[in-house]
């Protein structure tokens, strides 16, 4: 039962290379399956979200984070009568453009590119992956995804201006994305902020009392749990409170988006697109709590001195490898040397590094720096 303002697969603007329909799956289901079967999707397993595996195997990585986003996004999408196949596909693909080493890696890669007058943006990189880098099909490059999925990759988390990004003109930059794409950014934030509270405690960088003191909305749920189940372990009380926090955010988006839709009078996808602003959102109260949760994590976790050495090493590994391949392009893999004949070398090196997992880049760094040291010593 799709709402009037949902994306209808039969009205999709289609694929770059037309393909015959499939007997059992519609185009958005197929796109979701193409993402799941892609190499860059599998690599998410070995990309840091916030904590590296050095701490524990229980921490989220980008793959498990992605699955959590997909769960949350599907719940919201289904309750709003949206196209859940498209929602699921957009959730599963939303982090595919992330480089190794989490935010530190992204920052370092962007900094390296800026030294060459370029920049790195994970949404644009995700689009390059699905359009070009994935090689699975004989008839076309990339995954040949439908327009709505490619548009969602670009527009789910921010707006790009036509003047600054003329190459993205086909994605209707002056229009809002469908609600299926709009909800991904909020589902992402619900997933990572609640997960980071959990992993932060597991890592010993946060503690239950600190969260209760610093985050009133969490304390509200924790208090409820303690009242109801005073005899269970603090860990279970914490888990229950966290579960309530996720449910609070998710359960808020649904009615508040519905009332935004009603207030706007929107009755079709075209009208969603023509709105001056996005319609998916929290109520004023939940929005305050969303911001408070984020601020708590910034103040108490993301800049923790304990995480500093790992961040510094991530930045050093990326910066050194970037410079290494800029100075010695003939040591890049053959396919990247070929690409460098058609594209700026900095972009090619950036693409190579961005695709790497934490494991692979660490191995490359050890190998390359070992060789460099040998040469220096010999010289």
Task: State the Cα–Cα distance between residues 238 and 136, nearest whole angstrom.
Answer: 44
Residue (27 or 95) nearer to Mg ion, CB:
95
Residue (237 or 293) nearer to Mg ion, CB:
293
Question: Looking at the DSSP assignment, which residues form a beta bridge with residue 61?
Answer: 48
User: Does the protein bind Mg ion through residue 88 (CB under 5 A)?
Assistant: no
Query: Hey, which residues between 119 and 178 contact Mg ion (CB under 5 A)?
Result: none
Considering only the stretches 87-95, 175-183, 246-254, 350-358, report the one whose residues sit in contact with Mg ion under the rule CB under 5 A. 87-95
CB of 273 to Mg ion, least distance (A): 24
CB of 185 to Mg ion, least distance (A): 9
Residue 103: both structure tokens together = 């935010």
Residue 24: both structure tokens together = 């059992």
CB of 191 to Mg ion, least distance (A): 7
Residue 300: both structure tokens together = 């108490």
Query: Hey, which residues between 21 and 40 contact Mg ion (CB under 5 A)?
Result: none
User: Does the protein bind Mg ion through residue 188 (CB under 5 A)?
Assistant: yes
Give SS3 for 61. Answer: strand
User: Does the protein bind Mg ion through residue 68 (CB under 5 A)?
Assistant: no
Count residues binding Mg ion (CB under 5 A).
Answer: 2
Residue (180 or 240) nearer to Mg ion, CB:
180
Residue (95 or 180) nearer to Mg ion, CB:
95
Considering only the stretches 77-85, 145-153, 188-196, 264-272, report the one whose residues sit in contact with Mg ion under the rule CB under 5 A. 188-196
- For the chain, the residue count is 379
Residue 326, exposed/middle/buried by CB under 10 A (0-12, 13-18, 19+)?
A: middle
CB of 189 to Mg ion, least distance (A): 8
Residue (30 or 156) nearer to Mg ion, CB:
156
Task: State the Cα–Cα distance between residues 181 and 155, nearest whole angstrom.
Answer: 7
CA distances from 140 to 15, 20, 54, 132, 315 (A): 11, 14, 40, 9, 36
Residue 18: both structure tokens together = 């037309």
User: Does the protein bind Mg ion through residue 95 (CB under 5 A)?
Assistant: yes
CB of 183 to Mg ion, least distance (A): 13
Task: State the Cα–Cα distance between residues 207 and 211, nearest whole angstrom.
Answer: 6
CB of 111 to Mg ion, least distance (A): 21
Question: Looking at the DSSP assignment, which residues form a beta bridge with residue 116?
Answer: none
CB of 40 to Mg ion, least distance (A): 14
Q: Let me know: does 134 contact 40? Beta carbons within 8 Å.
A: yes
Q: Within 13 A of 85's CA, how many CA atoms are on the CB side?
A: 19
Residue (184 or 340) nearer to Mg ion, CB:
184
Residue (106 or 188) nearer to Mg ion, CB:
188
Q: Let me know: does 177 contact 155? Beta carbons within 8 Å.
A: yes
Which residues contribute to the site for Mg ion (CB under 5 A)? 95, 188
């Amino acid at each position: 039962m799709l709402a009037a303002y949902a994306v209808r697969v039969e009205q999709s603007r289609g694929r770059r290379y037309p393909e015959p329909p499939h007997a059992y799956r519609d185009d958005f289901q197929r796109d979701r399956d193409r993402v799941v079967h892609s190499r860059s999707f599998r690599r998410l397993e070995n990309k840091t979200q916030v904590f590296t595996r050095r701490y524990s195997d229980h921490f989220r990585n980008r793959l498990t984070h992605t699955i959590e986003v997909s769960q949350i996004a599907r719940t919201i999408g289904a309750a709003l009568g949206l196209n859940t196949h498209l929602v699921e596909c957009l959730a599963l693909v939303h982090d595919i453009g992330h480089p190794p080493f989490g935010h530190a890696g992204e920052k370092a890669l962007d900094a390296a590119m800026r030294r060459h007058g370029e920049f790195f943006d994970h949404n644009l990189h995700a689009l390059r992956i699905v359009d070009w880098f994935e090689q699975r099909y004989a008839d076309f490059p990339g995954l040949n995804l439908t327009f709505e999925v490619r548009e969602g990759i670009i527009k789910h988390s921010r707006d790009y201006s036509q003047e600054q990004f003329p190459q993205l003109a086909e994605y209707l930059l002056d229009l809002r994305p469908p609600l299926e794409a709009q909800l991904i950014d909020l589902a992402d934030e619900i997933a990572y902020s609640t997960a980071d509270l959990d992993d932060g405690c597991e890592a010993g960088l946060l503690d239950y009392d600190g969260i209760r003191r610093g985050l009133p909305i969490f304390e509200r749920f924790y208090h409820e749990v303690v009242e109801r189940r005073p005899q269970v372990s603090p860990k279970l009380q914490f888990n229950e409170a966290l579960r309530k926090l996720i449910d609070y955010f998710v359960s808020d988006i649904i009615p508040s988006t519905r009332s935004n839709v009603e207030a706007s009078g929107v009755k079709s996808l075209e009208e969603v697109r023509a709105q001056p602003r996005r319609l998916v959102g929290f109520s004023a109260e939940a929005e305050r709590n969303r911001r408070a949760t984020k601020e708590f994590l910034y103040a108490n976790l993301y800049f923790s001195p304990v995480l500093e050495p790992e961040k510094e090493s991530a930045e050093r590994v990326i910066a050194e490898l970037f410079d290494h391949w800029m100075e010695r392009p003939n040591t890049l893999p053959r396919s990247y040397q070929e690409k460098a004949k058609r594209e700026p070398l900095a972009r090619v090196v950036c693409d190579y590094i961005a695709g790497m997992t934490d494991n692979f880049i660490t191995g490359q760094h050890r190998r390359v720096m070992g060789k460099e040291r040998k040469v220096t010593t010999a010289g």
